[in-house]
Amino acid sequence: MWKVLARSSGATELNDFYPIRPECQADAPAPRFKPRAGKTLSQRRWNSSFDAEGHLNIAKVLRRIQRGGVHPSIKGEVWEFLLGCYDPNSTFDERTELKNRRRGQYDMWKAECQRMVPMIGSGKFITTPLIDEDGQPIDKSLIGVQPSNKKVLQWMQVLHQIGLDVNRTDRALVFYESEANQAKLWDVLSVYAWLDDDIGYVQGMNDICSPLIILIENEADSYWCFDRAMRRMRENFRTSASSMGVQSQLATLSQIMKTVDPKLHEHLEDLDGGEYLFAFRMLMVLFRREFSFAGTLYLWELIWGMEYNPNIFAKYEEPERAKANASPQTLSDKILKQYGKFERKNVKTGNAEESSALAVFVVASVLEIKHRRILNEAKGVDDVVQILGDITSNLDAKKACEEALKIQKKYLSKAQGKK
């Protein structure tokens, strides 16, 4: 309801779209992002980017996003395209049919979960364990079925942890004063955990899902958007006794810094920071702690816009077609304009490493911003962490992304020169 009121008033102040609880306002960082006429993708420009049948001019949209982000009133529907929920070449009718089919699928999955744990879909959520260490229900009234196999047992055991994390998620926002909104976040994460047999739920997924719950009113639609976001990021959450999910990205970050700023890299190695573990959290939850809430949304859409690949929908829905479309012989200048700035450079140079995500270059840009302080003041890894901590919620997302693109260009140039 609060979003609807903000839209109908014509408000452009971010706090009208993402209002902060009065008692939290003093501690809330001021957002650096503000919608700018002529640069930010507006409702009018978004609407004009579709033809009569509903085909989207994605090249036009990407140019606008990369210049000034997306206006808060349309972020949710724009993000659905950026994350690959819909094909820009589809029609209005095709997307409506797909949306209805997906909603029905989600409802079926949610009903399956609800049969096992009736609290799901009730508008409430749990924060205490359902199952004891022996696999027995603690309160049988909360369980719809006796845990009969390992998958059901493991899923029921994680539901209270999801609830605890939901209780801590974006608590400064008025949106989460409503238990129903918190329960919506819990429901989506619980259904996702049930369906992802491999990784399930890991702390931090709540931070990725929360903005999608806020921006996209229909729960099923927000689930599918979260599913697409996780397809990009789920490896970040994979951990084992010997490795962690972002390790490949940290290794890439080390290689980038060694190439573009050998002096800083050598200093970090001398401090036993050459593995760049201090950047773990930045990459794990895509800078949720380093930017204000509004700043995070702006950063994410800049990253997703710059990383955009027109084959992303087909990659998830029709992998063989996506592979054929990605062939270098099919990439004319017109098609290349449908790629984001960052991805276009990767395509041109043949750099297909998934660990070389724009977020890795954004971390490199943050290190470059703090280059002098780290060299002069850091006597250990703890000092590096403190120096980087000083930027919390105070980074300029646009500047960080622009610097990241410069570092990418420099890195690819030097890497090509070494071949």
Q: How far apart, in Å, are the Cα atoms of 408 and each of 160, 263, 395? A: 42, 18, 19
Give the pLDDT confidence of 244-281 residue by residue, as tens digits.
778 889 999 999 999 999 999 999 999 998 899 989 88
Q: What integer pLDDT is reported at residue 321 of this predicted model? A: 65
pLDDT band at 10 (very low <50, low <70, confident <90, very high): very low
Q: How many Å apart are CA 187 and CA 120, to the nearest integer?
A: 6
Give residue 87's identity as a one-letter amino acid code.
Answer: D
Helical H segments across 271-311, by residue range: 280-284, 293-306
The first and second tokens of residue 169, run together, are 């998620």
Across 43-48, average pLDDT: 96
pLDDT: is 314 or 320 the higher one?
Answer: 314
Nearest to 58 by CA among 83, 29, 30, 28: 83
pLDDT of 181 > 90? The answer is yes
Lowest mean pLDDT among 39-48, 142-151, 266-275: 142-151
pLDDT of 64 > 70? The answer is yes
102 in Cβ contact with 224 (< 8 Å): yes
pLDDT of 340 > 90? The answer is yes
Across 181-195, average pLDDT: 98
Across 64-78, average pLDDT: 94
Q: How many Å apart are CA 413 and CA 411, to the nearest integer?
A: 5
Give the pLDDT confidence of 201-218 residue by residue, as tens digits.
999 999 999 999 999 999
pLDDT of 200 > 70? The answer is yes
Angle between helices 358-369 and 247-260 (to 10 degrees): 50
Across 378-397, average pLDDT: 83
Percent pLDDT > 90 in the chain is 61
Q: What integer pLDDT is reported at residue 57 of this predicted model? A: 97
Q: Spell 233-248 as b/e; 16+ CB within 10 A means b.
A: bbbbbeeeeeeebbbb
Percent pLDDT > 70 in the chain is 89
pLDDT of 123 > 90? The answer is yes
Lowest mean pLDDT among 71-75, 80-84, 286-290, 312-316: 286-290
Lowest mean pLDDT among 115-124, 187-196, 247-256, 288-297: 288-297
Residues comprising the chain, all counted: 419
Q: What integer pLDDT is reported at residue 5 of this predicted model? A: 38
* Coil, helix or strand at residue 226: helix
Q: How many Å apart are CA 158 and CA 131, to the nearest integer?
A: 9
Mean pLDDT over the full length of the chain: 88
Q: Report long-range pairs for 56-61 (Cβ below 8 Å, ≥24 apart).
A: 56/81, 56/88, 56/89, 57/88, 58/88, 58/308, 58/310, 58/338, 59/337, 59/338
The DSSP code for 339 is S
Q: What integer pLDDT is reported at residue 330 of this predicted model? A: 60
pLDDT of 1 > 70? The answer is no
Q: What integer pLDDT is reported at residue 158 of this predicted model? A: 96
Give the pTM: 0.90
Q: How many Å apart are CA 397 and CA 297, to the nearest integer?
A: 10
Domains in the chain (CATH in brackets) are 92-237 (1.10.8.270), 241-417 (1.10.472)
Q: What is the Rg, in whole angstroms, of the alpha carbon atoms belonging to the chain? A: 22
Which residues lie across from 239 on neighbouring strands?
244
Q: How far apart, in Å, are the Cα atoms of 84 and each of 47, 202, 205, 361, 383? A: 19, 23, 19, 22, 40
Q: How many Å apart are CA 137 and CA 156, to the nearest integer?
A: 9
Residue with tokens 């009208």: 16
Lowest mean pLDDT among 176-180, 189-193, 315-319, 366-370: 315-319
Q: How many Å apart are CA 381 and CA 333, to the nearest integer?
A: 45
pLDDT of 4 > 50? The answer is no
Q: Which of the residue ranges 56-70, 310-324, 347-361 has the most confident prediction, judged by mean pLDDT? A: 56-70
pLDDT of 290 > 90? The answer is no
Q: What integer pLDDT is reported at residue 3 of this predicted model? A: 42
The first and second tokens of residue 224, run together, are 């599918």
Q: What integer pLDDT is reported at residue 334 of this predicted model? A: 83
